[in-house]
Structure 1
């Protein structure tokens, strides 16, 4: 027996349109709803910031998307509120952990690490998810990615356990994964898909990588008309099939 798992990663730019600079979280909601993901990794999620009407965006998104299980990580504190990474899921999340990826004197960066358990016919499968937003400088991103894959949280994940790394890698030239992730057994869910700027994508900044007992069925960037307006990034989506231990294969 196996189950499908659809993962979406999206830098939502605080819900502010990349072209019209207008705050409209409903556009983000509709963009995500179009793909009906099981797990969503978000970057640049506002929490109590005046520019986004003091909204706690993770809660609003979770409610409107019917993704009730959430984890939020504050990366950047502002005079009022701040913004960071979030994971929303149809499945229960547990063991959430913050990993500091800051390379001084650069901006504070982190990875949000969680586990989820998928149940099927009395059996279950653990999946580990890491959501991050890497830095703007090339040397900074390399350090951060090495720190991420070498952290204790991920080092204790068995090689057979499905493990997904997603986020805004700011990978301008598209070579980070080949240098730092693929040698560690990770596979890309798609090639260098251009996701930024959303209205006319030129750079492949957003990524999903995976390893463990899971099969990739499809990986793509979302190019709907609304996605081109809702943020300055396009969402990326990966569809997987996971075998469930203890069940007969089918």
Structure 2
């Protein structure tokens, strides 16, 4: 992990560890997936390709249990985006977005959760954009409008299905901090595990957060667990006292 800045002098702040992970529909080594996530002890996991069809509630709950977390929101209403937290995080409310369906394509969406750790409040969002380059910019524009309506510190984890030069990526990154860039690690690829060549998985934060650490978790376990590497970010959120 990259240690961007010392934080010992900031007691009035909350540390938050966030993992964003496309789990490939749990079609790979699920034991390796569980071990990989548990080993990094995240506070929040933003999942793409989570259960979204038959018995999705039970399957999302089972995934959370394997990862030693609880379901915060998402699943079918967000079309496969799932937000998980540990018990340190209080979930205050959740909501979801579904993007308009293009005939012949998979529906896409986003999940949102307003959360708190003590007096620190923030919003976590997760999304997975289309593989179709003609669809992604429109989806990004809709998602950006939802993000703009959030007036709390914001975290967005997403599989954008394009690199940072793409139109959808630029739309979502506007006004937010790309955690990889902040940590000088934008050269780390997230896809594919078999042949790492692209950074299509991103984690963005609003200006209230400070990026302390950033990593693309490349281990024997993560190479067996999915076709994407997970993105792991340590954040610091100053606490505003009333």
Structure 1 counterpart of 2:72, from 67, 70, 73:
70
Say whether the 8 Å CA contact 2:141–2:168 is kept in structure 1.
no
Give 1:194 shift.
1.3
Normalized per residue, which structure has more strand?
Answer: 1
Give the whole-Å Cα distance in 1 for the aligned partners of 2:164 and 2:206: 23
**Residue 186 in 1 paired to residue 185 in 2?**
no
Give the whole-Å Cα distance in 2 for the aligned partners of 1:32 and 1:69: 15
Give 5+ residue unaligned stretches, structure 2: 1-11, 181-185
Say whether the 8 Å CA contact 1:181–1:187 is kept in structure 2.
no
Q: 1:102 to 1:144 in 2, by over 3 A?
A: same
Provide the TM-score with structure 1 as the length reference.
0.80
Say whether the 8 Å CA contact 2:217–2:230 is kept in structure 1.
yes
Give 1:211 shift.
0.6
Give the whole-Å Cα distance in 2 for the aligned partners of 1:73 and 1:48: 9
Give 1:178 shift.
5.8
Structure 1 counterpart of 2:232, from 234, 237, 240:
237
Give 1:221 shift.
0.7
Give the whole-Å Cα distance in 1 for the aligned partners of 2:209 and 2:164: 27
Give 5+ residue unaligned stretches, structure 1: 18-23, 77-82
Per-residue CA deviation, residues 15-55 of structure 1 (Å, 9 max, x unaligned), is 222xxxxxx422211111121110000111135669xxx99
Kindly report the root-mean-square deviation, in angstroms, between the aligned alpha carbons of the 2 structures.
Answer: 2.4
Give the whole-Å Cα distance in 1 for the aligned partners of 2:77 and 2:187: 26
The residue number in structure 1 matching 2:203 is: 208
Give 1:72 shift.
2.6
**Residue 95 in 1 paired to residue 93 in 2?**
yes
The residue number in structure 2 matching 1:85 is: 81
Give 1:212 shift.
3.3
The residue number in structure 1 matching 2:62 is: 60
Structure 1 counterpart of 2:214, from 206, 214, 219:
219
Equivalent runs, 1:9-24 vs 2, <5 Å: 9-17=20-28, 24=29
Give 1:94 shift.
3.0
Give 1:7 shift.
0.6
Provide the TM-score with structure 2 as the length reference.
0.83
Give 1:12 shift.
0.5
Instruction: Report SS of the residue matched to 1:126.
Output: strand
**Residue 27 in 1 paired to residue 32 in 2?**
yes
The residue number in structure 1 matching 2:109 is: 110
Give 1:56 shift.
3.5
Moved more, 164-173 or 209-218: 164-173
Q: How many residue pairs end up in the alignment? A: 223
Instruction: Report SS of the residue matched to 1:226.
Output: helix
